[in-house]
Amino acid sequence: MPRIMIAGDPLTIEVLEPLLGGAGYELILVSTTKDALTKIHSEKPDIIICGMLFEESRMFDLLKAVKADPAICETKFICSRVAVSDLPDAVMDAMNTASRALGATMFLDIFALIEQGKEAQVVKLIDDCLARKQGET
């Protein structure tokens, strides 16, 4: 069973926990960078999904910390929008670009997919990401 760390604020966790837990993933829930880094080392998730609002908008801080640590830098990392609405397309494009530039596997707009009733597509995209070898896009 794939192990997914969800790094997020309470609303992000509230949205993702039933969706991903119900899809059969083993979930590791964290809300601080310190807790995330400790659990990444001890619980070895297959993938990290980090929401934009993680620990007062520190998503990129966690991403940089993961990518800078040789012991965990190969862990797949998805930056995501889960609980934030009303963002201009330019902001979303910038988040995608910044996520990729900092080493994220992808930026996933989970909010938009759920809003469109495409929860199954969220799970499929995560499954596809888990199935890819590190370094593939």
CATH number, domain at 40? 3.40.50.2300
| pLDDT confidence of residue 132 | 82
CA distances from 58 to 51, 52, 69, 96, 104 (A): 9, 7, 17, 15, 14
| pLDDT confidence of residue 85 | 77
Whether 117 has a pLDDT exceeding 70, the answer reads yes
Considering the domain boundaries, does residue 137 fall inside one? Answer: no
Whether 80 has a pLDDT exceeding 90, the answer reads yes
Q: Report the predicted TM-score, pTM, of the whole model to 2 decimal places.
A: 0.93
Ranges of H-type helices in the chain: 10-21, 33-43, 59-68, 89-101, 110-115, 119-131
47-51/106-109 β-pairing: unpaired
* The CA-based dihedral angle spanning residues 31, 55, 68, 66, taken in that order and rounded to the nearest 10 degrees: 30
Q: How many folded domains does the chain comprise? A: 1
pLDDT band at residue 133 under the 50/70/90 scheme: low
- Which helix (H) or strand (E) segment holds residue 4: the answer is strand 3-7
Whether 79 has a pLDDT exceeding 80, the answer reads yes
CB atoms within 10 A of CB 54: 28
Distance of alpha carbon 49 from alpha carbon 75, whole angstroms = 11
What is the average per-residue pLDDT within 35-57?
96
Domain carrying residue 11: 3-131
